[in-house]
Amino acid sequence: MKQGTRNIRIAILGLGAMGTALAQTLLNKGITPLVWNRSEEKTRNLSLQGAVACKTSTEAIVSADLIVLCLLDNGIVRHLLEPDKLQLEGKILINLTNGTPGQANDLAAWAESARCRYIDGGIMAIPPMIGSADALIIYSGNEEGFNIAAPFLNLFATSRFLGNDPGLAALNDLALLSCMYGLMGGFIHAAALLKQAELPARSFVPLATSCVSGMLPALEQLAEQIDTRTYEKDVVSNLQMQAVGYRNLLDTTEALAVNPALVAPMHKLMLGAIAKGFDRADLSAIIEVIA
């Protein structure tokens, strides 16, 4: 860590599973954070290790130069930052609370009026990963503030700054959540089908892992087709054929008395794209139905 950075006081507000992992990481790296949590008992273990527990969020905010917020939602963030007499001028706010691009833009505009630097972040990791380079946190907003904070932020995870638009991190975070829930939802539906045949989900993991990893390179082609709107370029699995296979998935779901809620919408979208004339196109063509 650079000379001078050591004088920066850092506060973590919110000691849920994630905020605790962030504070613990700083302690593990020899940095003493100020910590605050609504329920005071979550500060205890950290203060036994040297963290400075603050009685109020205001105390933590006014005592720190760099304030990391990791709370349930941005309504709470706003509430904690807005007491009338709170002096925020010159401070750097790193908001790691999951939120929307609109909320990030509003908070950034508000921070500018309070003369502090706002950086929004999206944590692409679970708490046990924090402190390792395998964890990724994406950031956007005030670049100068990010560069000052980076030596600390790099202790949490690999940091990636996406740009000055404050909403970029939230947008990419939510886009990644979309990928994640698509995958997890698909797996849970698969497990429900197997359960009806008394097959444990665990037995399916090796097959699912190898098939899903094999498909990842296909994202490049889908992206190229989407960006250039050339859905019929280099097609090896046309939509008409995919819709027939998907119908078999739905029929089997029904036959096994499994709720189709996780998978049914995709079939409707396939049929919608086919109705628009994309029967010989790739799956990417369904973007024409949704956006």
The DSSP line for 134-167 is T-EEEEEE-HHHHHHHHHHHHHHSEEEE--S-TT
Q: Which of 71, 135, 162, 286 binds ligand NDP (CB under 6 A)?
A: 71
Beta carbon of residue 229, minimum distance to ligand NDP (angstroms, whole number): 34
Tell me whether residue 69 or residue 269 sits nearer to ligand NDP (CB atom): 69
Q: Which of 10, 11, 12, 18 binds ligand NDP (CB under 6 A)?
A: 18
Q: Which of 42, 91, 117, 189 binds ligand NDP (CB under 6 A)?
A: 42
> Does 70 help bind ligand NDP (rule: CB under 6 A)?
yes
Tell me whether residue 24 or residue 225 sits nearer to ligand NDP (CB atom): 24
Tell me whether residue 71 or residue 273 sits nearer to ligand NDP (CB atom): 71
Question: Which has the closest alpha carbon to 262: 181, 208, 198, 205?
Answer: 181
Q: Which stretch binds ligand NDP (CB under 6 A): 67-75, 84-92, 144-152, 212-220?
A: 67-75
Question: Which has the closest alpha carbon to 30: 49, 43, 48?
Answer: 49
Spatial neighbors of 208 by CB under 8 A, at least 6 apart, are 187, 190
Binding footprint of ligand NDP, residue count (CB under 6 A): 19
What is the length of the chain?
291
| CA torsion, ordered 139, 145, 150, 152, to nearest 10 deg | -110
Residue nearest to ligand NDP (CB): 16
> Does 123 help bind ligand NDP (rule: CB under 6 A)?
yes
Tell me whether residue 126 or residue 261 sits nearer to ligand NDP (CB atom): 126
| CA torsion, ordered 125, 126, 127, 131, to nearest 10 deg | -30
> Does 15 help bind ligand NDP (rule: CB under 6 A)?
yes
Q: Which stretch binds ligand NDP (CB under 6 A): 121-129, 220-228, 235-243, 278-286?
A: 121-129
Q: Diameter of the chain by CA atoms? A: 67
> Does 176 help bind ligand NDP (rule: CB under 6 A)?
no
Burial bucket for residue 135 (CB in 10 Å: 0-12, 13-18, 19+): buried
Q: Which of 25, 43, 97, 140 binds ligand NDP (CB under 6 A)?
A: 97
What is the CB-side half-sphere exposure of residue 97 using CA atoms within 13 A? Answer: 26
Q: Which stretch binds ligand NDP (CB under 6 A): 26-34, 64-72, 154-162, 181-189?
A: 64-72
> Does 38 help bind ligand NDP (rule: CB under 6 A)?
yes
Question: Which has the closest alpha carbon to 26: 57, 64, 62?
Answer: 64
> Does 167 help bind ligand NDP (rule: CB under 6 A)?
no
> Does 140 help bind ligand NDP (rule: CB under 6 A)?
no
> Does 17 help bind ligand NDP (rule: CB under 6 A)?
yes
Residue 55, both tokens: 């009685």
With tokens 């899903």, the residue in question is 212
Residues making contact with ligand NDP (CB under 6 A): 14-19, 37-39, 42, 70-72, 76, 97-98, 123, 126-127
